[in-house]
Amino acid sequence: MIASVQNKTLFSDAFRSGRALLPGEPWLQALRDSAIGCFEERGLPTRKDEEWRYLDLKTLGKTRYGTPAGKPEISESFAREHFLGGTLARFCFVDGKYDASLSDVDELPAGVELLSVAEAMNKNEVQLKEALEASDVDFRHPFVALNTAFLQDGYVLCLKKDVQLEKPVQILFLGSEASENCAEHSRHFLFLAEGAKAEVLECYVSPKAGNFLNNVVTEVALEKAAQLSLYRVQAEGGGCSHLNYSKVSVGESAHFESKVFSFGAGTSRNEIETELSGAHAVCSLEGLYIGGGDQCLDNRTVIDHRVADGKSREFYKGILGGNARGSFSGKILVEAGAQRTDSEQNNRNLLLSDDAEADSKPQLEIYADDVKCSHGATVGQLDADQIFYLRARGIGEGQARSLLTAAFAMDLVESVANADIREFLERHVNQKLAQEVGR
Amino acid sequence: MEKAEMGKTLLEIRNLRVSVDGKQILKGLSLSVRPGQVHAIMGPNGSGKSTLAHVLSGREGYDVTGGEISYCGKDLLALKAEDRAREGIFLAFQYPVEIPGVNNMYFLRTAVNAVRSHRGEAELDAMDFLSFAKAKMEKLGMNKNLTSRSVNEGFSGGEKKRNEVFQMSVLEPKLAILDETDSGLDIDALKTVAEGVNALRAPDRAFLVITHYQRLLDYIVPDVVHVLAGGQIVKSGDKNLALELEERGYEWVDRGETEAGKGRVQG
């Protein structure tokens, strides 16, 4: 408890001392005050909180995070390494702040709005105010409260009715050395009106392993028959703590697809709460978490089937070596009226070392009687028969292991239709596997 | 023993004793195979046939408690499984393993290049390998779609065994061990697989064909037939021994076990 009070103070102090510098009109300042108040009531979660039991927040709780000061130093070549080819637009953030020089939004067609939250504070204040005040996210979530209190930037992507993007949009977050001991609280909004369609790749990277906090909150709303594919590559250096919370609302016959690739950051949590709020809504949540060393990778999902005829598919895979710990907890809630719900959940883990740990917690709450819900979880090692089969053909044991590990990982990548995104993801998976499995 | 012959021996097993989980399976097995020969090893279930195949290929979990195996003049037991394969030993599995997510052709190219670089030869790139492999496939009458699939995944029993023979033809081993390749095959698949094997018979290549039934030996005609029972070779002879076994059953040799080892035949 003492630890909790102490780290609560660290964030509160930072808020009080920095409050005057935080942007925004009085309504936003009032919202910040209300958010920090909510945070202070509960403080940072501990391992005793059931929903946070797998996450180690020790480093995070001990750090007095500041705001990135001075000019961020990020080499253009490092940024370019992470540019996705064949995009419609690229939006870059350095140390949590929008960077126009690395961005490219010239090709955006009519009916698409892509702007930074900082810009929205000036240009579209009314909409932003509406969005934040109507926001469904719950300040009882400590990192949502902190995110709101410290809110500075992020992106807003709005698609008008029937606007369908043919090429993906990339959002790139670069953490520079100036972010050492700093916190970045980004807030994103994705609104797709009826019949709209988009593919978005978010990528979080940093060249150095310094300690910083990336605290991201995303709100997604898909109207009738809208389709969103949201890919996330989370690959910051080892000192980073990455907390990512998304709240998604999927309307009638709309389709939400999420693929989360968590490879970087010493501590990470990727959390998605999805509501299937219209009939025939579909969501597919997939994740691949690969960890080594002392990494702790936590995944939490909630899928709330609110109405009838919804369909959800969930597939998370973990590859854990060294002393790494990975966890998946997936809650499926089928409400009383959500008849004919069709839901599948699967979590598979591959342990590459004796000291790695995988925790899997499926959680089904079903209040309707005509539903199809399945779930499965496995934790295992590489198959000895498969390793021997490869060795019996002359393939060395190390290479056999990396081949089989890559095979375990790649089906999540191979199902990506867009070739540019697929290659981008493949490269990241291979890089991470080379680090953790070697040859 | 026959010193003059030693230079020509590809595989020499002397008095091999192997146990699994403390249970003695092979109890002093001796066998000598020369290049170009086809040796059949027949025996009842539990006689140690598959143990012999696995020990030769370097599978872990088998304790060699006595004897020695010399292959091309080298101490085979000192080599790791992958090095045995690189030195030209090929095991056609009784139960080929499915490996989802690993493309069959990528797997084979990796294997071929592991062997080539072991021999100090240049590795084949994807294009070169493809044309090399396609020629082999045509020769074996293999379905082309087997190339785009994952290793053995969803293959029928016949397709799996054919894939083993295909791999053998690509890897061009010196000693091919066929572990009950006939099990689970209908007569047509058996013929195709046997034709594939026969096409690979060569003066510098030897085969060890392990089987429970004589049927396979109608198609792959052996030079020498050995009967393995109770962990030893109890009788050796020419191809007619297989026919006799088929007729009289394994009890016939089991009864003659006391004369074990004496009937070793020079092929």
> Domains (ranges, CATH) in chain B?
3-259 (3.40.50.300)
DSSP track, A48-112: TSGGGTT---HHHHH---B---S-----HHHHHHTPPSS-SEEEEEETTEE-GGG-B-TTPPTTE
Contacting residues of B for A390, CB less than 8 Å apart:
99, 107, 111
Tokens 């490879």, located at residue? A263
Domain boundaries, chain A: 2-278, 383-439
For the ranges A121-135, B140-154, B178-192, the maximum mean pLDDT occurs at B178-192
Q: Which amino acid is at A87?
A: T
Over residues B36-76, the pLDDT tens digits come to 999 999 988 888 999 999 999 999 999 999 999 999 999 99
How close does chain A come to B253, measured CA to CA in Å? Answer: 33
- A386–chain B Cβ distance below 8 A for any pair: yes
Q: What is the largest CA-CA distance in chain B?
A: 57
Over residues A12-32, the pLDDT tens digits come to 888 988 888 888 888 899 999
Look at B85 and A411 and tell me if their CB atoms are within 8 Å. no
Determine the Cα angle at B92 with ends B86 and B95, to 5°.
Answer: 130
How close does chain B come to A409, measured CA to CA in Å? Answer: 9
* Lookup: tokens for B47: 């006689």
What pLDDT band is residue A72 in, cutting at 50, 70 and 90?
confident
What pLDDT band is residue B4 in, cutting at 50, 70 and 90?
very low
Q: Rounded CA gap, B251 and B264, in Å?
A: 19
Q: Rounded CA gap, A39 and A215, in Å?
A: 14
Over residues A377-404, the pLDDT tens digits come to 999 999 999 999 999 999 999 999 999 9
Q: Strands B206-211 and A183-192: what pairing?
A: unpaired
Q: Rounded CA gap, B147 and B106, in Å?
A: 9
* Lookup: tokens for B5: 């012959």
Tell me the three state secondary structure of residue A308: coil
Q: Are A117 and A128 in contact (CB under 8 A)?
A: yes
Please compute, for residue A34, the number of CA atoms within 13 A of its CA located in the half-sphere on the CB side.
10
Q: Rounded CA gap, B185 and B203, in Å?
A: 28
Over residues A99-155, the pLDDT tens digits come to 999 999 988 999 999 999 999 888 877 888 888 887 777 888 999 999 999 998 999
Tell me the three state secondary structure of residue A189: strand
Q: Are A253 and A280 in contact (CB under 8 A)?
A: yes
Who among B57, B100, B110 is closest to A392 (CB)? B57
Q: Rounded CA gap, A276 and A278, in Å?
A: 6
Q: Are B38 and B205 in contact (CB under 8 A)?
A: no
Q: Which amino acid is at A129?
A: K
Look at B81 and A391 and tell me if their CB atoms are within 8 Å. yes
Count the Cβ atoms, other than its own, within 10 Å of residue A136.
11
Higher pLDDT, B254 or A198: A198
